[in-house]
Structure 1
Amino acid sequence: MALKPFNDTILKAAYGEKTTHTPVWFMRQAGRSQPEYRKIKETHSLFEITHDPELCAYVTKLPVDQYNTDAAILYKDIMSPLGALGVDVEIKSGIGPVIGNPIRHISDVQKLGEINPEQDVPYILDTIKLLTTEQLNVPLIGFTGAPFTLASYMIEGGPSKNYNKTKAFMYEQPESWHLLMEKLSDMCITYTHAQIDAGCKMIQVFDSWVGALNREDYRTFIAPHMQRIFTGIKEKNVPVTTFGVGASHLIEEWNALPVDVVGLDWRLQIEEAREKGITKTLQGNLDPAILLAPWAVIEERLKRILDQGLQSDSYIFNLGHGVFPEVKPDTLRRVSEFVHTYSADYKSK
C-alpha cells in the first residue's frame, strides 16, 4: 500500500517557516500507555525490542497511527550506545539504567572506547531504514543523550536525585571531566550522524538532568561541549532540538547555541520564554500530569498554551516531559486532534 503524501510540517516549524497547523508529537509517545506495547512487553524486554528492527519499527510507528502525530521518535533508550564505549549498563525494571563499572578516576575515562554505529548498533540503523523507506509519512526523530546526562549515570552508577557524585567529580577532577565530555561528545556526533544517514530527518538531544547545574557551571563545564555537538550535528543539515527538565534557568544559554528548537518543560510559560529573548522555535509544554485530568481541564490548558505558541510560526506542540503510563491513548488522540484543529483555525484567519 502506498504511503500518504509526506507530512513535513514539523520540519518547517523547526525552521520557523509558515505551516497550515501546529505540529504535534509526544515525548515517550511510543510504549508505556499503549495496550499493544504492554502486550509485547509481557514477552519482550526493552533490549529485545530494540534489537528486533521489525518489532521496534512497529512500536515506533504505532503512536503515529493511533494519534496522528506529525513525527515519530525512534523507540530506544539514551543508554543504547554506551555499551560500545565499554560501559557495563543494564536497564533494570523499576530502577532504570544501572552501571556496573562507574567512573571514579581519569583512568576510567581513558579506558572508554569509541562507537562505530554500523558495527555496534546496526539494529538501530536497520530500524531507521525500515521506517523511513517503507512505513512512515512523517519525519522520524533520532536522538541522543547529552554528555552531562549520560555522565551522571556513568558516575553515579544509576539514577540520582541530587547528582552529588557527578558534581563532585566535575569540581574535583576538571581535567577528567572535560576528557569525559569530549569522549561523550564524539559519541553523540558519530551516533547522530549515523541516524541521519540512515534516514532520520530531525535530532533531539536529551540533556534531561542538566538543570541540576547553575548557569555559571553550565557555561564552564557544559556549553563548550554542547557547542561542538550541535555544530557537528548541523553539518548534516537537519533541525536540532535541545531539551532538559527543570532547566528553565538555562534557556538563554541554549538560545546562544547552534540549535533550531528549544524544548521547554512545564515550569516556564511560552510567553515568558519569548520575553527572555528566546528567538528559536519553541517546543512544549503541557504538564503531562494534566493528561490525567478531565477533558474540560485539558482543553482549557491546551488553549492557554496554544494561544501563546501561535504568536509565532516557530512553535511545535509537545508535553513538558514524557507520557505517564496511566494516560489513556484516547486522551492523546484527542489532544493531537485538538491541537491540529485549533491551530488550523487560528492560522486560517
Structure 2
Amino acid sequence: MIKNDLFLRALKGEIVDRPPVWMMRQAGRYLPEFMEIKAKYDFFTRCQTPELASEITVQPIRRYGMDAAILFCDILVIPQAMNIHVEMKPGIGPWLPNPIRSAKDVEQVIVPDIDETLGYVMDAIKMTKEKLNDEIPLIGFAGSPWTILCYCIQGQGSKNFDKAKEFCFTQPLAAHALLQKITDTTIAYLKKKVAAGVNAVQVFDSWGGMLSPVDYQEFSWQYIQQIIDALKDESPVIAFGKGCWFALDEMSKSGASALGVDWTCSPQNARKLTGNRITLQGNFDPTRLFSPPSEIKRMVHEMINAFGKDMYIVNLGHGILPNIPIENAGAFIEAVKEYKA
C-alpha cells in the first residue's frame, strides 16, 4: 500500500484535505544534485542506466517531498526502440540525422519487442520503487504519437513543425501508418511500465496545439484515445495536450482519469469545458516560478481556490525551466502543503 496516496485519490475524484502536487520535469535539470550527474554522463546514458535514472527520479522527492514521483526518462526512447536514430545535441536538443520523409521510410520503422529494446526502463522502475519504498506513487509517461511523429519527420525541435505537418497533409496514408506504429509501440511500452510497478501513466501531447481542431482529431486525438482505451482498466491515465484547450470537452469523455491543462486556459474555463466531469491537473505558468517566493505562494493558493481543492492535482502548465531558483521551486511545493481550504 502507498502511504501517501493523495495523488491516487485525486485521480479517483475523492474528497481530500488538500490537492496533491508534483511538477512536470521535476526530475532533472534545475537541481544542483542533477547537474553533478549531468557533468559525468551524457543524456541517453542517464536515461538508459537504471541506477542513474532511479537516482535522478528520487532527487526532487528527497529535497521537496512531492506527492508523486515521475520516472526520469525521455519521450524519444520510443523512436530509438523503433529503429530510428535519435541523438541529444548540446545547444540543439533532439537531433534525428535521418528524418522520415517518405512512405518507404515509414516501412523501415519497426514495432519493437519492448523487453529487448526498452527493458532498461522497466529495470529503472523496479529500482525506483525500491527507493520510494511505497511512500508515494510513481508515474510513468510517454509522448503522444503525434508529438513523436513531429520529431521523427522534422528531425529536430521546431517552432511550427512545418515539415511534419506538410508530410501529414501531402502523404496522409504514410502519416497514419507511422502514427499507428508509434501508437502500438506506446501501448505495449506503457503496459510494460504498469506491470513493472508504475501507479499511473501520463501521455504528453506537447505539440498538439500546432494543429487546428479538425486536424487534431485526425492526426493526434484518435491515437491518444487508443492508448487510453488500452490502458484505462490497468492504470489511471493522465492526458496532457499543450495548447489543446479546444479539445477539453471531448478529452473529458475519453475514459482518462485526469487531464493536464496549460496556463493559457483559466481554471474556470477548464472546468466549464470539461463539465466538472474529470480531475484536472495544472496549470501554473513555469516562467512564473521566477516570481518572488511570497508571490508564488499567493498565486498557488489563488490557483487552488479557482480550480477547487477536489478533483485537482497542482502542477505546472508545462515542464519546469532549467534556470528556476531552487528556493522558488520549493515555495511552489510548500504553498500546496500549507494550503487550508
TM-score w.r.t. the length of structure 1 is 0.93
2:175 matched to which residue of 1? 177
- Partners of 1:134 and 1:220 in 2: how far apart? 41
More moved, 66-75 vs 278-287: 278-287
Selected match of 1:269 from 266, 269, 287? 266
Amino acid at match of 1:151: L
CA deviations 1:47-75 (Å, max 9, x no partner) are 12122212211110011111110000010
Structure 1 position 245, deviation (Å): 2.0
CA contact (8 A) 1:144 1:188 kept: yes
2:283 alignment partner, SS class: strand
2:188 matched to which residue of 1? 190
Selected match of 1:218 from 210, 216, 221? 216
For 1:63-102, what aligned pairs fall within 5 Å after superposition?
63-102=60-99
Structure 1 position 199, deviation (Å): 0.5
2:10 matched to which residue of 1? 13
- Partners of 1:204 and 1:69 in 2: how far apart? 17
CA deviations 1:26-60 (Å, max 9, x no partner) are 01111111111111111111212122212211110
1:158 alignment partner, SS class: coil
CA deviations 1:66-99 (Å, max 9, x no partner) are 1110000010110012212110110111211111
1:143 alignment partner, SS class: strand
Distance 1:8 1:176, change over 3 A: same
CA deviations 1:172-219 (Å, max 9, x no partner) are 111111111110100110010111110000000011001011111112
- Partners of 1:110 and 1:234 in 2: how far apart? 30
CA contact (8 A) 2:79 2:152 kept: no
In the alignment, is residue 32 of structure 1 matched against residue 29 of structure 2?
Answer: yes
Amino acid at match of 2:188: T
CA deviations 1:114-163 (Å, max 9, x no partner) are 12221112211111011113434111100001111000000111111111
1:123 matched to which residue of 2? 120
- Partners of 1:154 and 1:299 in 2: how far apart? 40
In the alignment, is residue 132 of structure 1 matched against residue 129 of structure 2?
Answer: yes
CA contact (8 A) 1:103 1:155 kept: yes
For 1:1-349, what aligned pairs fall within 5 Å after superposition?
6-136=3-133, 137-236=135-234, 238-278=235-275, 279-310=277-308, 313-342=310-339, 345-346=340-341
- Partners of 2:201 and 2:274 in 1: how far apart? 23
- Partners of 1:180 and 1:81 in 2: how far apart? 13
- Partners of 2:166 and 2:250 in 1: how far apart? 23
More moved, 18-27 vs 70-79: 18-27
Q: Percent identity?
A: 37
1:121 alignment partner, SS class: helix
- Partners of 2:174 and 2:229 in 1: how far apart? 23
1:159 alignment partner, SS class: coil
Structure 1 position 165, deviation (Å): 1.1
CA deviations 1:228-286 (Å, max 9, x no partner) are 111012131x1111112222222223223221111011111111111223421100011
Distance 1:63 1:134, change over 3 A: closer
- Partners of 2:305 and 2:22 in 1: how far apart? 18
CA contact (8 A) 2:144 2:220 kept: no
4+ residue runs of structure 1 moved beyond 6 angstroms? none
Structure 1 position 5, deviation (Å): 6.1
The alignment's C-alpha RMSD in Å is 1.5
Amino acid at match of 1:298: I
Amino acid at match of 1:166: A
- Partners of 1:55 and 1:172 in 2: how far apart? 42
The number of residues matched between the two structures is 339
Structure 1 position 167, deviation (Å): 1.2
- Partners of 1:128 and 1:231 in 2: how far apart? 23
Amino acid at match of 2:97: G
- Partners of 1:64 and 1:134 in 2: how far apart? 11
CA contact (8 A) 2:5 2:136 kept: yes
